[in-house]
Structure 1
Amino acid sequence: MIDVISSRRLATRPAQSQLISSSTCHEIDQLVGNTPVLWTPEISGTPGRGFWAKLEGHNPGGIKDRPGLHMIQRARERGDLLPGALVVESTSGTLGLGLALAGMVYEHPITLVTDPGMEPAMRHLLAAYGAQVDIVDRPHRTGGWQQARRDRVAQLLAAQPGAFCPDQYNNPDNVDAYQQLALELVAQLGRVDVLVCSVGTGGHSSGTARVLREFFPHLRLVGVDAIGSTIFGQPARTRLMRGLGSSIHPRNVDYRAFDQVHWVAPAEAVWTCRRLAVTRYVTGGWSVGAVALVASWLARTEPDDTRIAAVFPDGPHRYADTIYNDDYCRRHDLLGRLPDSRPEEIRHPGEREVDRWTRCTHVVDPAATGNEQRQR
């Protein structure tokens, strides 16, 4: 159990020549999972306070390698996806990597529909992995780029009989794919009191919390969303941050599972990502910055024996030309904007539109009827 592991550096360590790899893989899908957790001091430097970061960037393509493989495997088992058939999906990037991996493992051609916001480096990488990248050229009038991508997916499916769309936003296999991540946390930490997750499709927050609560019934789930996302009842706006947030309402979001939600702005995520980089070396993208900001506040304000696990969905390399590029950040006014030490508070997501780090403990499903809301 992790209780015997100190957050301090071990006094003696074996020489590099004495280290022997414990992971010898014959197949590429065996590289997915068993990612490490790292004790991470909270970002303001409060002595002794911090959280455990689950480093999903140690998967070959990031956290969505897990659902990429799982959704394709389950579709094949059910007969929804025939051998060699085309797979078509909408993605902002990370699931594209997971599906490219699944396409290699299960021998399916992959077409990924994205938008101009995807970084050129990511588009080139996906193409190098053998995926066909299809870019929509204008946003949907009300559903933004996300709905425009989904509409294009529907067109491609209609034109290719037998093609299959995993539909990461609504497919319960996306949720089920995170069972193993939860079991890894149980084995690694022994106890989890608070789980902090970014929310996009709702897959990893719902799937991980559901399994963890079988072991720890009093687990609290904290969702982290982006400013301008409509998932938790804020108005949809154009968003700079990718990988979290949505302009639609994915059915995989388990609203009843959340104890609170935080919205984070791009400049706050950038500052936190860069702070992690310079103080801890381990950092990542927009979701990592937003999650680390919230997890650090929880580490400062919760009782000191609270065990907090925060899921870091990816690493920093994809963001070299955005989050870690000074010219890009200056163009978008993202530099030098230190987050406040605590979030603003609202009593209901519909109280007002937020534009900075804000917290709400009244979590609602904005797509639910009034009667459904009263039954929560």
Structure 2
Amino acid sequence: MNRTTPTATLISPAQLLADTKRPMHTPAGLVGDTPLLWIGAPFTATGRGFWSKLEGHNPGGIKDRTALHMVRAARERGQLLPGAPIVESTSGTLGLGLAGATYGHPVTVVTDPGMEPLMTGLLTAYGAEVDLVDTPHPTGGWQEARRHRVEELLAVHPDAWCPDQYNNPDNVAAYAPLAHELVAQLGRIDTLVVSVGTGGHSAGIASVLRGFFPHLRVAGVDTTGSTIFGQPAAQRLMRGLGSSIYPRNVAYDLFDEVHWVAAPEAVWAARRLARDHYATGGWSVGAVALVARWLARTLPAENRIVAVFPDGPQRYVGTVFNDAYCREHSLLGHLPADDPDEITHPGERVVTRWTRCTHITDPLAPAGRPASDIHALAGAAR
């Protein structure tokens, strides 16, 4: 029997390695250059879709970028001395970044009972100390309680440094490379969809992209019960987006619209993405994907939409992707509406389901003063 022997085309080792990442000497080298994935049917309408920036491909998620940048900048300015402790309030993702970007600094993460056991385990494994607050602040909720605990720890350790991700402008500056990656990967971007929590990555990415694309449309994604865009504070199940305080890094003047998404709607989208596209994440990813899906259907077909997925699914195996947890919190069986509800002003009424508003205001702005002026003053005062 005749047998054909396949012949390989001889190429040099340099050619074989041309499209691979270089070996890295430090974990910091693994951060950035994350991939884009097209999300189309069946998650979206046939013939429509959007690009997703998969920040879960960083070792710890999107906040690896800001952890590295804030620590490096503080060291260069002499604010963080060699070997000094780092203390920060976080729901988890920034803690992972800080633990990996310590340059020899001990890290204390101040969090609350809502942190997933898997995240607590990872932080401990990476050498961080987890400090748990046990009582929410009466008006500022868990976030304010965590910030008060950070102040207590800083008073006990005067050499310690707090990144203050909610107000530190380095949190914003850290995301310029991500914006540059998007420009290099796509060439043109018409619409950006981003979750909003501390305000860092939404402000950092959108401000740079606006410089390239002056007509860029920016859709912010918040959660019901969050105060960021002027809704009253309420109990929030979702972590990673939303706030019970008013972070000064939120650049209100950059947003064209805001969408509030409820937890069951985010769960539906995150699970549907996992089943249909093998790329998903937690609360923020589900909420962002739901909004991007709607924009892909309602905007012109040629509009190029990018949605930033801040992390992957791993930390959510006990929540978003756990049937028992979801049943306990009544998160299953809630198919989102085809279109969001609409309000004309953030204070029009309390929203409890996916809702959209195109009138953006800074809740702390004096009456009659544009949000852009307030944001500029806050930046000058930092």
TM-score interval, normalised by the smaller of the two chains = over 0.9
CA distance in 2, matches of 1:263, 1:287: 11
Alpha-carbon distance in structure 1 between the residues aligned to 2:41 and 2:189: 17
Q: Retained in 2: the 8 A contact 1:43–1:276?
A: no
Question: How far 1:371 sits from its partner (Å)?
Answer: 3.2
For the residues of structure 1 that align with 2:95 and 2:41, how far apart are their CA atoms?
A: 31
Residue number among 287, 290, 299 corresponding to 2:287 in the alignment = 290
Pairing partner for 1:358 from 352, 355, 370: 355
Partner AA of 1:64 in structure 2: K
- Asked if 2 retains the 8 angstrom alpha-carbon contact of 1:348 and 1:362, the reply is yes
Residues in 2 aligned to 1:190 and 1:251: alpha-carbon distance in whole angstroms:
31
Q: Does 1:30 pair with 2:29?
A: yes
AA at the equivalent of 1:80: Q
Pick the aligned partner of 1:154 from 151, 155, 179: 151
Once residues 367 and 93 of structure 1 are traced to their aligned partners in structure 2, the CA distance between those partners, rounded to angstroms, is: 27
Paired letter, 1:111: T
Letter in 2 for 1:226: T
Residue identity in the other structure for 2:226:
S
Partner of 2:90: 91
Residue matched to 2:320: 323
- Counterpart code for 1:173: D
CA deviations over 1:26-80 (Å, ceiling 9, x no partner): 2110000000011111665411100000000000000000000000000001111
Identity %: 68
Q: How many residues align?
A: 358
- List alignment gaps of at least 5 residues for structure 1: 1-16
Write the deviation string for residues 148-189 of structure 1: whole angstroms up to 9, x where unpaired: 000000000000011000000000000000000000000001
Which 4+ stretches in 1 moved above 6 angstroms?
17-20
How far the C-alpha of 1:21 sits from its partner, in A, is: 3.4
RMSD: 1.5
2:378 maps to what in 1?
none
Deviation digits for residues 105-154 of structure 1 (CA, Å, limit 9, x no counterpart): x1100000000000011001100000000000000000000000000000
Q: Does the 8 Å contact 2:44/2:297 carry over to 1?
A: no
Query: How is 1:224-303 mapped onto 2 (pairs within 5 angstroms)?
Result: 224-303=221-300
Structure showing greater radius of gyration is 2
User: Distance in 2 between the 1:350 and 1:72 partners?
Assistant: 37
Match of 1:346 among 338, 343, 351: 343
By how many angstroms is 1:355 displaced? 0.2
CA distance in 1, matches of 2:182, 2:341: 30
- TM-score normalised by L of structure 1: 0.93
Matches of residues 72-151 of structure 1 in structure 2 within 5 Å?
72-103=71-102, 106-151=103-148
Matched, 1:167 2:173: no
**CA spacing shift, 1:18–1:160, aligned 2, 3 Å:** closer
Partner AA of 1:59 in structure 2:
N
> Structure 1 residues 374 and 165, CA, compared in 2 at 3 Å: closer, same or farther?
closer
- Once the two structures are overlaid, the 10-residue window that deviates more, 121-130 or 23-32, is 23-32
Kept after mapping to 1: 8 A contact 2:361/2:371: no
CA contact (8 A) 1:196 1:309 kept: yes
Write the deviation string for residues 247-302 of structure 1: whole angstroms up to 9, x where unpaired: 00000000000000000000000000000011001000100000000000000000
* Cα distance in structure 2, aligned partners of 1:187 and 1:276: 25
